[in-house]
Structure 1
Amino acid sequence: MNILTSSQLEQWKSDGYLILPSFFESEEVKEMLDEAKRLCNEFDITGHPMTTFKTAADGEHVGDEYFLNSGDKIRYFLEPSSLSPATPEKPSELLVEPSKSINKIGHSLANLNPIFKKYTLENSKIVDIAKDLNEQEDPKVLQSMIICKQPKIGGIVPCHNDSTFLYTNPPSAIGCWIALEECTPSNGCLSFLPGSHKKARISSRFVKDPSGKGTTFIDVPEIKKNEENWDEMDGWKEASCPPGTLVLIHGSVMHKSPPNHSDKTRFIYTFHMIEGGKGTIYDEKNWLQPTKEMPFPSLF
């Protein structure tokens, strides 16, 4: 065991998430936050397809080519409320300056950005954490991104679990979520339903639409659909945390975050790991795909 204590591992197995304050030093957090803000400030809206991002409770998700082909790139996705409604006579226009319109930047920062690569693929503490968890034989890193939660317009992220969106057979996803700023209920901190990873069944998955147009959800064969209304269950816990906190998120645990109605940003950096060994299957149906030039890198 390198970093996690036996009690922390017990909590991980019991709750399905683990909050590790002060995992990164203040200087390390500043380096990541400065880089995130630099990327935002250098965003050029010229030629951008105005692709927004939202994870809607009604199943509506982004799915254009700009999104689907972002797995080996650094691309910008806009906050829906940063744009005026489009009409037949007039396309959408930004209502805020470009740097403040961004919902997230992804999905390959760990590969392509030297700062975020430093704190992901080249970080010995992240390697030690993955080894301590002992959940994955060959963790592959994917979907690395900055999520901004802009002041006043940062949107809600409804109740979900990550393995639905990064599906493997059997499910294996683990999220690593890093607070770059203070995360509070007023600016959109995470909330979790402890223990829900033991009950939730990954009965649907987020995939490229077989029609070739966008994305959709499909059922996982032979898995009984979840009928629980997780969002209305008792026991949800807010996960307020200071900058430098690492939150580990089991792929089956239910979590969410509220909109940011405050005047403060809530910048975080996150990436995910899936099992690359043990016969685990990540197939061509998934929306996020490795490329020949940039396969999902191994953490070990």
Structure 2
Amino acid sequence: MTSLDLAAYDRDGFLVLERFLPAGDCDALQRRAAELVAGFRPGSARTIFAARDQAHARDRYFQESGAAIHFFFEEAASSEQNELALNKIGHALHDLDPVFDRISRQLRLARLAQALGFVQPLLLQSMYLFKQPRIGAEVGWHQDATYLYTRPPTVTAFWIALDDADRDNGCLLALSGAHHGPLRRRFHRAGDAMVTSELDATPWPAVEPLALEVPRGSLVVLHGLLPHASAANHSNRSRHAYALHLIDGQAVYDPDNWLQRPHLPLRGFD
């Protein structure tokens, strides 16, 4: 990390580090995800992850996934599909699986967090994202701080491409520089329900979305206030990725955040 990199991150709200993760680590994550899927038995209950309407938020299986390894299906998947129908695995892979733990807590990521200004980095959430061929759904414009809120905002994503990511198979899209604007919404607990509250009605800035096309192994750092999205995967290629979300332990993590881990304390890179 050079001063030029940090200046670009402050200006744009994202940073692309091409081929950051060695091919062997990408292979290990994909192989381990395949093993987890092979051992998964969904039964009659199949929780669908619906980014558009958050319908999954009513499901206890989703609500308890912050301290577990749970499996979520694509909306467009048929009931007969299994490994080719999953949207993602989440949200505590980095704490509960040894392969994901080893790669998530490597020294290079710890040094990256330090360079970005984290004082007490805590690994809050991890997701293995499938973006399946032909059925991988669009993810609309959002800010990560909507879902993982601290005061002040500190959530930061380390998004790692495990396949080449391009426009055809649903690469990340970003509104460069828009992280300087306000947080628009909060998704949080209200009693036994999950609700989305509007905080600021300011529209997204009228800037051209930037497609972050990256080769396998690249790491994209995303500021928690940066509006970003991804298109549907219309290709016959997968777009697997691994996303790790960090917060700073010096900030306040509100107790109404959807992700709660009462019996699984947060850890840093140690």
Identify whether the pair has TM-score above 0.5, normalized to the shorter chain: yes
Q: Counterparts of 1:113-132 in structure 2 under 5 Å?
A: 113-121=97-105, 123-132=106-115
Equivalent residue number for residue 268 of structure 2: 298
Secondary structure of the corresponding residue to residue 185 of structure 1: coil
Note if 1:160 corresponds to 2:142. Answer: yes
The one-letter amino acid of 1:208's match is R
- Is the 8 Å Cα contact of residues 190 and 255 (structure 1) preserved in structure 2? yes
Secondary structure of the corresponding residue to residue 62 of structure 1: helix
Structure 1 pair 26–106 and aligned structure 2 pair: CA distance change class (3 A): same
More strand by share: 2
Note if 1:186 corresponds to 2:183. Answer: no
Equivalent residue number for residue 86 of structure 1: none
CA distance in 2, matches of 1:105, 1:74: 7
Decide which structure has the larger Cα Rg and report it: 1
CA distance in 2, matches of 1:164, 1:36: 27
% identical aligned pairs: 32
Note if 1:217 corresponds to 2:196. Answer: yes
Give 1:283's match in structure 2, choosing from 254, 259, 264: 254
CA distance in 2, matches of 1:75, 1:167: 22
Note if 1:204 corresponds to 2:185. Answer: yes
Give 1:256's match in structure 2, choosing from 212, 221, 229: 229
CA distance in 1, matches of 2:18, 2:259: 30
Equivalent residue number for residue 153 of structure 2: 171
Give 1:51's match in structure 2, choosing from 47, 57, 74: 47
CA distance in 1, matches of 2:159, 2:6: 17
Note if 1:226 corresponds to 2:207. Answer: no
- Is the 8 Å Cα contact of residues 186 and 197 (structure 2) preserved in structure 1? yes
1:254-273 CA deviation, whole Å, 9 max, x = no partner?
11000011111111011100
The one-letter amino acid of 1:205's match is R
- Is the 8 Å Cα contact of residues 68 and 288 (structure 1) preserved in structure 2? yes
CA distance in 2, matches of 1:219, 1:187: 31
- Is the 8 Å Cα contact of residues 145 and 270 (structure 1) preserved in structure 2? yes
Equivalent residue number for residue 238 of structure 1: 211
Equivalent residue number for residue 87 of structure 1: none
Instruction: Give the alignment's TM-score, normalised by structure 2.
Output: 0.95
| Moved segments of 4+, more than 4 Å | none
Equivalent residue number for residue 90 of structure 1: none
Equivalent residue number for residue 7 of structure 1: 4
- Is the 8 Å Cα contact of residues 42 and 99 (structure 1) preserved in structure 2? no
Give the Å deviation of 1:203: 3.9
What are structure 1's unaligned runs of at least 5 residues? 84-93
What are structure 2's unaligned runs of at least 5 residues? none
Give the Å deviation of 1:193: 0.7
Secondary structure of the corresponding residue to residue 119 of structure 1: helix
CA distance in 1, matches of 2:208, 2:111: 31
Equivalent residue number for residue 62 of structure 2: 67
Structure 1 pair 106–156 and aligned structure 2 pair: CA distance change class (3 A): same
Instruction: Give the alignment's TM-score, normalised by structure 1.
Output: 0.86
The one-letter amino acid of 1:115's match is V
Give the Å deviation of 1:28: 1.5
CA distance in 1, matches of 2:36, 2:204: 38
The one-letter amino acid of 2:16's match is I
Equivalent residue number for residue 77 of structure 1: 72
Equivalent residue number for residue 88 of structure 2: 104
Give 1:195's match in structure 2, choosing from 168, 177, 180: 177
CA distance in 1, matches of 2:169, 2:217: 17
